[in-house]
């Protein structure tokens, strides 16, 4: 896969079945304290929102999605509050949407606008 100029979305949640089940329970019983604003906007209780998937497929850049543990294993030197969205250019990560910016999004439309404004390199 060509990783030149791809977007890397990093969730503030770990991978694996147990963690997924725990996340579902947290979203169901205490959504106000759920730790991943990116996941809360892009996913329903059990799956990715269709509107989000259509948006991702419409972007001019390839996209990769990583959980916190996968991100830290692959990029151990990158320390930033999660969730976050990066642009990966020639093997370097450039932060384009940090956790506070993602948290400020009140809807999927807000998140999509943030990505279009700050994460795409349209040269």
Q: What is the pLDDT of residues 88-115, one digit of tens each?
A: 988 889 999 999 999 999 999 999 999 9
Report pTM.
0.80
Answer whether residue 1 is part of any domain.
no
Q: What is the pLDDT of residues 4-54, one digit of tens each?
A: 589 999 999 886 554 554 555 545 555 555 557 888 889 776 778 899 999
Answer whether residue 19 is part of any domain.
yes
Answer whether residue 100 is part of any domain.
yes
- Measure Cα distances from 105 to 7, 36, 37, 42, 112 in Å: 18, 12, 9, 11, 9
Number of domains in the chain: 1
pLDDT at 66 over 70: yes
Answer whether residue 123 is part of any domain.
no
Return the DSSP state at 7. Answer: E
Q: Which domain holds residue 99?
A: 6-118
pLDDT at 81 over 70: yes
Q: What is the pLDDT of residue 123?
A: 42
């Amino acid at each position: 896969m060509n990783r030149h100029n791809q977007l890397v979305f990093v969730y503030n949640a770990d991978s694996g079945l147990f963690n997924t089940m725990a996340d579902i329970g947290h979203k169901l019983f205490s959504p106000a304290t759920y730790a991943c604003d990116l996941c809360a906007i892009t996913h329903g209780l059990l799956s990715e929102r269709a509107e989000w998937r259509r948006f991702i497929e419409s972007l001019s850049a390839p996209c990769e999605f990583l959980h916190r543990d996968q991100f830290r294993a692959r990029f151990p030197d990158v320390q930033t509050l999660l969730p976050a969205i990066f642009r990966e250019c020639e093997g370097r990560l450039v932060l384009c949407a940090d956790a506070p910016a993602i948290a400020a999004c009140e809807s999927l439309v807000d998140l999509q606008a943030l990505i279009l404004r700050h994460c795409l390199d349209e040269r």
